[in-house]
Amino acid sequence: MPFGSLPGFRRRAAATSPSPDGHKESPRPSIGDPAVLKRGTRTRRNAIVVSCFCYLVAVVFLILVEIGNTKGTKVLGDIYFFKLDLSDILPQSAPTSLTLQNSIARTLGLHDFYQVGLWNFCEGYETDGITHCSTPTTLYWFNPVEILMSELFAGASIALPSDVNDILNILRIASNIMFGFFLTGLLLDFVLILLAPLAVYSRWWSAPLGILALFATLMVLIASALGTAMSLIFKYALTSQTDLNVGADVGTKMFAFMWIATGFTLIAFIIHAGLCCCCTSRRDIRTGRKAGRHLGQSATNERKTEASG
């Protein structure tokens, strides 16, 4: 009669067979273990961190685009879309009673330069810098004809190129669209910084976040393209008539800021689009759909150890 069947005796559990190196085999990690989930989703988490960094950089540069030229300070005053130089403008007519000033523009009652931002315009003189900035206005657009004609002294007149009058309506529409798209893109990028970590839990979060990222990218991209085209067209229209002696420059800093923001927003969108089909999520591990790169390597190593034993 075996001892296991006698009263008072219990069968001992089978001893765990030692591993080839003399150590006991450790139990396989559970897919519900937080450490396992953390290791299995490491690649996905790293991708999300990179996307959040891209959104953060884009938000910083979009804020600079938004606040550029709103004040005449040394920093904000250098951020503008385009700048008109009228210091040596040749008038069509001028009364003889005018006193000659430091520049022709000042003699006519105008300012030496006018520069345009997203919310307003600033004006000033070459010797004094920016002297005045208009009140920031929602959906602002720069109307050079109205502004210049309102500042001319009585009896003085200038002949702006005819192309300027032709593009005023286009300028107004483009400025309004650009204003709305830049502001929407900024808000979406900020929201995506907060929502991006949700993509680590499931691919179902990656799809709506990817669509939101695409929308943000289109907003910033279209706004940057409009700002670039508007500035270049305005520069061409004002300098097309050389006998007026009017100069125009595009804002290098503004262009750099808005295209850097566009580039980083595009990179973040590409990452979100890739997360829809790549990189293991927590749901993938829990449902057994994917084991994750690090967890899969551990399982492979265990199978090799068992085979060699």
- Mean pLDDT: which of 12-16, 129-133, 278-282, 287-291 is highest? 129-133
- Mean pLDDT score of the chain, rounded to an integer? 78
Rounded to an integer, the average pLDDT of 29-58 is 71
Check residues 115 and 159 and name the one with the higher pLDDT. Answer: 115
Question: How does pLDDT run across 112-140, given as a tens digit for each residue?
Answer: 999 999 999 999 998 889 999 999 999 99
Question: CA 120, 225, 47: angle at the middle one, nearest 5?
Answer: 110
pLDDT value of position 212: 92
CB 65 within 8 A of CB 118: yes
Residue 30: half-sphere exposure toward Cβ, Cα within 13 Å: 3
Question: How does pLDDT run across 12-26, given as a tens digit for each residue?
Answer: 444 444 445 444 444
SS3 49: helix
**Cα–Cα separations (whole angstroms), residue 223 to 42, 171, 178:** 35, 13, 5
Enter the DSSP assignment of 199: G
pTM: 0.76
- Identify the band that residue 28 occupies on the pLDDT scale cut at 50, 70 and 90: very low
Enter the DSSP assignment of 248: E
CB 89 within 8 A of CB 114: no
Percent of the chain whose pLDDT exceeds 70: 69
Backbone angles phi, psi at 98, to 5 degrees: -70, 140
Enter the DSSP assignment of 279: S
Helices and strands: H and E segment counts in the chain: 9, 5
Structure tokens at 147: 């502004």
